[in-house]
Amino acid sequence: MNAGTAVTPAFRKGIGEAGRGGGCPAGAGRAYLTGSAMAERFFGAEDDELSHAQGWDAVFGGRFGRGVLNLDGERHRSYRQALMPLLRRSAVMAHQESIVEMLARAVSSLPLGTPVDLHAFTQPLAFKVAAHLFAGADEHEAEELHTLFDELRTPPVGELGTPGGNHAARRVGRARRRVRELLRAAVGRLEHTDGPVRRLRALPDPPPDDVIGENIAILILAGYETTGYLSARLLWLLARHPREQDAVRAESGDPATAPRLDAIFSETARLHPPLAWLPRTARTDLDFGSTELPAGTEVFYSVTATQRDPEVFVDPDAFRPQRFAEGARHGRFALTPFGAGRRICVGIHLGTLETKLIVSALVRQFRLSTPSGPYIGDVSHNGSTVTSAAPLLARLDRISG
């Protein structure tokens, strides 16, 4: 199938196009899009055509509140405009020293000479960075918030009215209330700091403090899930490819601008985008090529399938960082791990920098190797974000000298 023209309307066929590297969200009334032609239509749609808010409700519901990720219209535009100065490349680079300090503390606790679950290391670290930058949280507060976010990331299991369903709903409710308490404290703590609180309060129609707290929650959520997974995947791939690992280790200077690491980052994000599917909901009847999608259709764009299109990438399932060598071009929508267009991820610069700093720090101190075994793919349990089908294990041995 030509991925440039693929639309699979689940409301007609009952199934979706799963692609490689992540389970396809199941359900009727859904359409699954792949390829650059669909990408242009998907990323170019206005909020009154494809709703982000309703799309992300299918993934996280309202458990984290509302913010720049899951809002539409004027509120999204005003909040994004207020927060963007904090997330530009130049602003993010100012945090490099504090990120390196947190990373050094985390690395010092890593066990050597035995397999380490890379994602179990990178995800809490990415959360601590996000909680520190956006909420001013210390390590103890960040650890509590991380536990609470884990409670909220997946919906309660079981139907209401059953003992199991009622217990799960109460547990999620308690976690939601505690997150609100901690973020209300963060709003008060940060009111005199140049950050999300001051920027949102400076709007002509400023949101109440609870809504500011919800924006902080969304920033943390978006800032740690993708970064933690992409960092773990990159380290695991380097452990499987010693020559590429040596090439990163040999690069001198700032990891943020190292060309080989940048190419490896792009190839990792191509093979294993941390968001396998981008969710939207049609707010009106829409045409996608020759397919008509009625209002209310849940629309999922497959980042993974598009980024493995054999018409764009030769040997698309292979790890080949050289395909992103300087000057290489693959098309506007060939690589969209952080989305594209006007709703591209606001944290793209922070996530990229943090991943490169994590990878560089470990590779320069340790030699990474993987246990023997088959290649480990991705799975998605909520229809968007991914995790590995099995733990991403690597052994770390300190480099002498």
User: pLDDT tens digits for 210-234?
Assistant: 999 999 999 999 889 999 999 999 9
CA 101 to chain centre: 23
Give the residue-averaged pLDDT of 174-187: 95
In this prediction, residue 20 carries a pLDDT of 43
**pLDDT given for residue 30 in this prediction:** 87
Q: How confident is the model at residue 167 (pLDDT cuts 50, 70, 90)?
A: confident
Residue 7: its pLDDT value, please? 60
pLDDT at res. 4: 41
pTM tops 0.75, yes or no: yes
Res 9: pLDDT: 47
Confidence of residue 3 (pLDDT cuts 50, 70, 90): very low
The pLDDT of residue 53 is above 70: yes
* C-alpha–C-alpha distance, residues 266 and 28, integer Å: 34
Residue 384 has pLDDT above 70, yes or no: yes
Confidence of residue 248 (pLDDT cuts 50, 70, 90): very high
Q: What is the mean pLDDT of the chain?
A: 89
Q: Of 139, 392, 338, 81, which is closest to residue 222 (Cα–Cα)? A: 338
Distance CA 388, CA 89 (A): 29
Considering the chain, what percentage of its residues have pLDDT values greater than 70?
90
Cα–Cα distance, 95 to 119 (Å, whole number): 23
pLDDT surpasses 60 at 126: yes
pLDDT score of 46 more than 90 = yes
pLDDT at 400: 80
287-329 pLDDT, tens digit each: 887 788 899 999 999 999 999 999 999 999 999 999 998 767 8
Query: What is the pLDDT averaged over residues 331-339?
Result: 92
User: Does 134 score more than 80 pLDDT?
Assistant: yes
Residue 205: pLDDT above 50? yes
